[in-house]
Chains A and B, each alone.
Chain A
Amino acid sequence: MTSTSQINTAAKLKHLRNEGMPFDLSLVKGIRINRSAVERRAATLGQRRSIKKEWQAAWLLRAIACMDLTTLAGDDTPGNVHRLCAKARQPVRTDLLKELGMDEVNLNVAAVCVYHNLIKPALEALEGSNIPIAAVSTGFPAGQITVLQKIKEIEASVRAGAKEIDIVISRAHVLTGNWKALFEEVTLFRKACGDAHMKSILETGELSTLTNTAKASYVCMMAGSDFIKTSTGKATVNATLPVSLVMVRAIREFHEATGFKVGFKPAGGIQKAKQALDWLILMKEELGDDWLSPDLFRFGASSLLADIERQLEHFITGRYSASYRHPMA
Chain B
Amino acid sequence: MKIKNIYKSMEYGPAPESPSAAYDWLAKHDKKFSLFIDGKWQAPGTGKYFDTINPSDKTFLSKVANGGKKDVDKAVAAARKALPAWVRAGAHTRARYLYALARQVQKHSRLFAVLESLDNGKPIRETRDIDIPLVARHFYHHAGWAQLRDTDLKEYKEVGVIGQIIPWNFPLLMLSWKIAPALAMGNTIILKPAEFTSLTALLFAEICEQVGLPAGVVNIVTGAGETGAALVNHPDVDKIAFTGSTDVGRIIRRATAGTGKKLSLELGGKSPFIVFEDADIDSVVEGVVDAIWFNQGQVCCAGSRLLVQEGIAEKLYKKIKARMEKLVVGNSLDKGVDIGAIVAPVQLAAIEKLVKKGVEEGGAMWQPSWACPTDGYFYPPTLFTDISPSSTIAQIEIFGPVLVAMTFRTHPEAVKLANNTRYGLASSLWTENINLALDIAPKIKAGTVWINCTNVFDAASGFGGYRESGFGREGGKEGLMEYVKLKADDKLATSPLRTSIISKKKKTAILIPEIDRTIKLFIGGKQARPDSGYSTKITDPFGNQIAEVGAGNRKDVRNAVEAAHTAEGWANLTGHARAQILFYLAENLFVRKEEFAARIMQQTAMSQKDAEQDVNLSIERIYHYAALADKYDGNVHHTTVRNVTLAMPEPLGVMGVVCPEHSPLLGFISTVIPPLSMGNRIVAIPSQTSPLSATDLYQVLETSDVPAGALNIITGKKEELSAVLANHDDVDGLWYFGSRDGSKAVEIAAASNMKRTWVNYGKFRNWQDSSQGEGEQFLRNATQIKNIWIPYGE
Give chain A's interface residues, CB within 8 Å of chain B: 1-4, 7, 32-41, 44, 47-55, 57-59, 61-62, 100-102, 104-105, 209-211, 249, 252, 280, 284-285, 289, 292
**B543 contact set on A, CB distance < 8 A:** none
Which of B12, B642, B794 sits near A211, CB closer than 8 Å? B794
B432 at the interface (CB under 8 A from A): yes
B255 to chain A, nearest CB (A): 41
- With CB as the reference atom, state the residue of chain A lying closest to B335: A50
Contact A36 B791 (CB under 8 A): yes
What CA separation (Å) do A39 and B335 show in the bound complex?
21
Interface residues on B, range: 35 or more
> Which stretch, B274-282, B344-352, B419-427, B694-702, touches the partner chain A?
B274-282
**B5 contact set on A, CB distance < 8 A:** 58
B501 at the interface (CB under 8 A from A): no
What CA separation (Å) do A32 and B278 show in the bound complex?
7
Contact B794 A55 (CB under 8 A): no
**A-contacting residues, B251-306, CB 8 Å:** 278-283, 286-287, 290
Which of A7, A55, A280, A285 sits near B326, CB closer than 8 Å? A285
Contact A50 B15 (CB under 8 A): yes
Contact A1 B452 (CB under 8 A): no
**B279 contact set on A, CB distance < 8 A:** 32, 34
Q: A34-B432, A35-B794, A48-B338 are in contact. Are A61 and B452 (CB under 8 A)?
A: no
Going nearest first, the 7 A-B pairs with the smallest beta carbon separation are A36-B791, A50-B15, A37-B283, A58-B6, A55-B13, A50-B335, A34-B280
What CA separation (Å) do A34 and B279 show in the bound complex?
8
Contact B3 A34 (CB under 8 A): no
Q: A36-B453, A36-B791 are in contact. Are A101 and B3 (CB under 8 A)?
A: yes
Contact B280 A33 (CB under 8 A): yes
What CA separation (Å) do A91 and B278 show in the bound complex?
47
Q: A1-B8, A62-B10 are in contact. Are A32 and B432 (CB under 8 A)?
A: yes
Residue among A48, A211, A249 with most chain B CB within 10 A: A48
B504 at the interface (CB under 8 A from A): no
- With CB as the reference atom, state the residue of chain A lying closest to B326: A285
Contact B280 A37 (CB under 8 A): yes
**B44 contact set on A, CB distance < 8 A:** none
Known A-B contacts: A41-B286, A62-B7, A100-B4. Give 12 more (CB < 8 A).
A1-B9, A2-B8, A4-B8, A34-B279, A37-B280, A48-B125, A52-B14, A55-B11, A100-B3, A102-B3, A210-B794, A252-B282
Contact A51 B4 (CB under 8 A): no
Contact B15 A101 (CB under 8 A): no
Contact A57 B15 (CB under 8 A): no
Contact B10 A59 (CB under 8 A): yes
Contact A34 B452 (CB under 8 A): yes
Give chain B's interface residues, CB within 8 Å of chain A: 1-15, 125, 129, 278-283, 286-287, 290, 326, 334-336, 338, 430, 432, 452-453, 641-643, 791-794
- With CB as the reference atom, state the residue of chain A lying closest to B11: A55
- With CB as the reference atom, state the residue of chain A lying closest to B433: A32
A242 to chain B, nearest CB (A): 10
Contact A102 B7 (CB under 8 A): yes
B40 to chain A, nearest CB (A): 40
B793 to chain A, nearest CB (A): 4
**A52 contact set on B, CB distance < 8 A:** 13-15, 335
**B430 contact set on A, CB distance < 8 A:** 34
Contact A37 B792 (CB under 8 A): no
- With CB as the reference atom, state the residue of chain A lying closest to B285: A41
Contact B280 A54 (CB under 8 A): no
B17 to chain A, nearest CB (A): 9
- With CB as the reference atom, state the residue of chain A lying closest to B15: A50
**B9 contact set on A, CB distance < 8 A:** 1-2
Contact B13 A37 (CB under 8 A): no
**B282 contact set on A, CB distance < 8 A:** 249, 252
**B1 contact set on A, CB distance < 8 A:** 101
- With CB as the reference atom, state the residue of chain A lying closest to B282: A249
B242 to chain A, nearest CB (A): 31
Contact A41 B12 (CB under 8 A): no
Contact A47 B8 (CB under 8 A): no
Contact B7 A58 (CB under 8 A): yes
- With CB as the reference atom, state the residue of chain B lying closest to A245: B282
What CA separation (Å) do A35 and B792 show in the bound complex?
8
B19 to chain A, nearest CB (A): 16
Contact A54 B2 (CB under 8 A): yes
Contact B453 A47 (CB under 8 A): no
**B7 contact set on A, CB distance < 8 A:** 4, 58-59, 61-62, 102, 105
**B452 contact set on A, CB distance < 8 A:** 34, 36-37
- With CB as the reference atom, state the residue of chain A lying closest to B2: A54
Which of B4, B14, B281 sits near A32, CB closer than 8 Å? B281
Contact A102 B4 (CB under 8 A): yes
A235 to chain B, nearest CB (A): 19
A251 to chain B, nearest CB (A): 12
Contact A35 B6 (CB under 8 A): no
Contact A36 B125 (CB under 8 A): no
**B336 contact set on A, CB distance < 8 A:** 48-50
Contact B125 A41 (CB under 8 A): no
Give 7 A-B contacts (CB < 8 Å), ordered by A residue. Answer: A33-B283, A34-B791, A37-B280, A40-B453, A51-B12, A62-B10, A289-B10
Contact A51 B13 (CB under 8 A): yes
B99 to chain A, nearest CB (A): 28
What CA separation (Å) do A3 and B8 show in the bound complex?
7
B642 to chain A, nearest CB (A): 6
What CA separation (Å) do A129 and B530 show in the bound complex?
99
What CA separation (Å) do A211 and B283 show in the bound complex?
13
- With CB as the reference atom, state the residue of chain A lying closest to B327: A48
Which of B3, B12, B125, B287 sits near A47, CB closer than 8 Å? B125
Contact A53 B283 (CB under 8 A): no
